[in-house]
Chains A and B, each alone.
Chain A
Amino acid sequence: MSPISLLPQLLRRAAERHGERDAIVMEGTRLSYAALEAESNRFARSLAAHGIRRGDRVALWAPKSPRLIAALYGIMKAGAAYVPIDPGAPPARMAWIARDCEVAGMVSIGERAVAIDEACGARAPMRALWWADARPPAATPAIAGLPGVPWAEVETEADGAPAVAALDGDLAYVLYTSGSTGEPKGVMLTHRNALAFVEWATATFALTPEDRLSNLAPFHFDLSTFDLFAAAAAAAAVHPVPARLAAFPAAIAEAWTRDRLTVWYATPSALVLLLTRGGLVGRDLAALRLLLFAGEVFPVKYLRELMGLAPQARFANLYGPTETNVCTWYEVPAIPADDRPLPIGRACSNDEVLVLDEAGRRVPAGGVGELWVRGATVMQGYWRAPERTALVLQPVEIAPGLTDLAYRTGDLVRERPDGALEFLGRRDHQIKTRGYRVELGEIETTLLRHPAVDEAVVIAVPDPEITHRLLAVVVPRPGAPVTEADLKQHLSLTLPRYMVPESIVLRATLPRTSSGKVDRRALEPPLAQP
């Protein structure tokens, strides 16, 4: 067995050994591993033909489709890194990321040509755009000088991967995540980073070609790296939920049980919706053998209910920020008897975890400290942001004479007597809502960019189903008339929808602590009422 050092080699191996098996099953379409391998080779050649070179970045901004998956492999085969952008992100955010990451090309769909044109315009130093759908793109003035490559042209390329040198330490993808300073930041991950997790997961969960994996997470969310690459590692099939169904729990529950998926991986928020709104009770879950969740704390009340519906299945909590992918895990041994939160467990994926105090010293077992992660999945840094990277990737003495860079997660944890770690909270203003990671500071900064806003505070109110709801309190500039609707519109132009607070309250002043800081606590109770 030749060693795997690049993600696309997982696909090639699956195509060689199990070429006839389903790689992707989506909306009645089945694409075999042989077909996916060939399609991604053709896409890689199309990229090369239009000047995409080793070390480049290519963005994806389109709804999920089998072609988008072929494109993502093709980008890596061309020696470039893929940059998946939230397909629901407003064009201004897409354009910001495309510019920040200096993408050399973009894969999208024809109907978005005008939006890309308006948002990126002449400022996009791209070499070409690829249209992953059959619809011809609308005529676009500013990017008209760029080649727009229809998929029919991709299909004319020869099969066979282009010969591009690459090492496992090269970037495979860049994932943009919320940044506290008001701009998203690009997390740089290599093939080796991803493979350390994928190889661990494939072995630990004994994935086989007989498995059928769900894929609900969008590709800019790192849960998708399990769905796509662990499936390829095992030559199992992945069943991406089409954008049309993704917002409908009843439709997802129907598809997953009808297709007899064996492995489900999703955020607790999504799983709770399947349970409370999807009519999971009464469906046949006999095929489900493994249920994985990550991204936030699973309310035990719902987990218990879910475990009761599929007593034959293994359940595991996977933990890790985008910067480290999954670095600890906890397999739920039995239906929990009480409502104490599940631990995040122990290190995995060839990682090591450390619990350190503010001064960087080890916290004695049982004490509260910050979680640091060292090892194979830890990111290379934030794209073109060495100062921000230096704040979170720091040398830590592991043992006398052994010092290594470790990632400080900002998560506060405590080690239980049995060695499993418990998550206790954050040391900053980063929160989770519906599995999405949000820096409250990014929303506040965006509010402050509105000319009529003097002060802004965003508060995360705990919610039993979606972890947190967002609420904002704004002090308008005197004499500047502004409404809640104005501010929501302002936010929605640059932020994804899940970052727009449900309610924005206007006030003349903000409560302050004796030291003059905004008293966030004082803002919470009256707002917590729905």
Chain B
Amino acid sequence: MSDTATENTIREFLIHDVFYDRDLSRLGSDQSLLEAGLLDSLSILKIVTFCEESFGITIPDVEVLPDHFDSVRSIAALVERRRAAKA
């Protein structure tokens, strides 16, 4: 599966603003963020705020669950679902 624009936006944010890294190639779309222990609660809040502001959506607290934040792909899927819910 090729990477979507949403995935790339999220990947870039994760790399630069959550992991403070440079190398975009280090994060595959399906790589598990949670198994590697890459995200803490503050990171999750940052990602939620970023997605809400960048994509013009709202993510209710009950949707902030491990399955929705396990990879770049699953975060992008959540964003698309919230966009559809809004439309």
Spell out A's residues near B (CB within 8 Å): 63, 87-88, 111, 243-251, 270, 273, 277-279, 434, 466, 485, 488-489, 491-492, 497-498, 500
Asked whether, in the complex, the Cβ of B37 is within 8 Å of the Cβ of A243, the reply is: yes
Asked whether, in the complex, the Cβ of A279 is within 8 Å of the Cβ of B62, the reply is: yes
30 contacts between A and B (CB under 8 A): A88-B37, A88-B38, A88-B40, A111-B36, A243-B34, A244-B34, A247-B34, A247-B39, A247-B40, A247-B69, A248-B41, A248-B66, A249-B61, A249-B64, A250-B61, A250-B62, A251-B65, A251-B66, A270-B41, A277-B61, A279-B61, A279-B62, A485-B16, A485-B22, A488-B20, A491-B20, A492-B19, A497-B40, A497-B42, A497-B43
When C-beta atoms are compared, the residue in chain A nearest to B34 turns out to be A244
A245–B16 alpha-carbon span in the complex (Å): 24
Tell me which residues from 30 to 87 in chain B have a Cβ below 8 Å from any Cβ of chain A.
Answer: 34-45, 61-62, 64-66, 69
Asked whether, in the complex, the Cβ of B20 is within 8 Å of the Cβ of A248, the reply is: no
Asked whether, in the complex, the Cβ of A247 is within 8 Å of the Cβ of B21, the reply is: no
A466–B45 alpha-carbon span in the complex (Å): 12
Q: Which of B37, B38, B39 is most buried by chain A, counting CB atoms within 10 A of its CB?
A: B37
**Smallest beta-carbon distance A251→chain B, Å:** 6
**Smallest beta-carbon distance A256→chain B, Å:** 15
Partner of B43, one of A247, A277, A488: A247
**Smallest beta-carbon distance A453→chain B, Å:** 16
Taking CB atoms, residues of chain B closer than 8 Å to A247 are 34, 39-41, 43-44, 69
When C-beta atoms are compared, the residue in chain A nearest to B61 turns out to be A277
Asked whether, in the complex, the Cβ of A498 is within 8 Å of the Cβ of B37, the reply is: no
Taking CB atoms, residues of chain B closer than 8 Å to A273 are 41
**Smallest beta-carbon distance A433→chain B, Å:** 9
**Smallest beta-carbon distance B33→chain A, Å:** 10
**Smallest beta-carbon distance A249→chain B, Å:** 7
Asked whether, in the complex, the Cβ of A249 is within 8 Å of the Cβ of B34, the reply is: no
A491–B69 alpha-carbon span in the complex (Å): 25
**Smallest beta-carbon distance A168→chain B, Å:** 34
A251–B70 alpha-carbon span in the complex (Å): 13
Given A250-B61, A250-B64: A489 and B21 within 8 A (CB)? Answer: yes
Given A88-B37, A244-B35, A489-B20: A277 and B42 within 8 A (CB)? Answer: no
Q: Which of B16, B38, B41, B44 is most buried by chain A, counting CB atoms within 10 A of its CB?
A: B41
Other than the given A247-B43, A277-B64, 5 more pairs (CB < 8 A) read A244-B35, A247-B41, A249-B61, A485-B22, A492-B20
Taking CB atoms, residues of chain B closer than 8 Å to A488 are 20
Taking CB atoms, residues of chain A closer than 8 Å to B38 are 88
Given A485-B20, A491-B20: A248 and B65 within 8 A (CB)? Answer: yes
Asked whether, in the complex, the Cβ of A498 is within 8 Å of the Cβ of B64, the reply is: no
Asked whether, in the complex, the Cβ of A498 is within 8 Å of the Cβ of B42, the reply is: yes
Asked whether, in the complex, the Cβ of B42 is within 8 Å of the Cβ of A434, the reply is: yes
**Smallest beta-carbon distance B16→chain A, Å:** 6
A222–B16 alpha-carbon span in the complex (Å): 32
When C-beta atoms are compared, the residue in chain B nearest to A86 turns out to be B37
Asked whether, in the complex, the Cβ of B22 is within 8 Å of the Cβ of A63, the reply is: no
**Smallest beta-carbon distance A483→chain B, Å:** 11
**Smallest beta-carbon distance B17→chain A, Å:** 8
Asked whether, in the complex, the Cβ of B37 is within 8 Å of the Cβ of A87, the reply is: yes
Taking CB atoms, residues of chain B closer than 8 Å to A245 are 66
**Smallest beta-carbon distance B22→chain A, Å:** 7
Q: Which of B16, B22, B43, B64 is most buried by chain A, counting CB atoms within 10 A of its CB?
A: B64
Asked whether, in the complex, the Cβ of B41 is within 8 Å of the Cβ of A249, the reply is: yes
Asked whether, in the complex, the Cβ of A248 is within 8 Å of the Cβ of B64, the reply is: yes
A485–B38 alpha-carbon span in the complex (Å): 18
Taking CB atoms, residues of chain B closer than 8 Å to A466 are 42
A243–B41 alpha-carbon span in the complex (Å): 11
Taking CB atoms, residues of chain B closer than 8 Å to A249 are 41, 61, 64
A63–B19 alpha-carbon span in the complex (Å): 19
A500–B69 alpha-carbon span in the complex (Å): 22
A244–B37 alpha-carbon span in the complex (Å): 7
- Closest 8 CB pairs between A and B? A488-B20, A492-B20, A247-B41, A244-B34, A489-B20, A277-B61, A247-B44, A88-B37
When C-beta atoms are compared, the residue in chain B nearest to A466 turns out to be B42
A248–B40 alpha-carbon span in the complex (Å): 8
Taking CB atoms, residues of chain A closer than 8 Å to B35 are 243-244
Asked whether, in the complex, the Cβ of B61 is within 8 Å of the Cβ of A278, the reply is: yes
A250–B65 alpha-carbon span in the complex (Å): 7
Asked whether, in the complex, the Cβ of A246 is within 8 Å of the Cβ of B40, the reply is: yes
A111–B31 alpha-carbon span in the complex (Å): 13
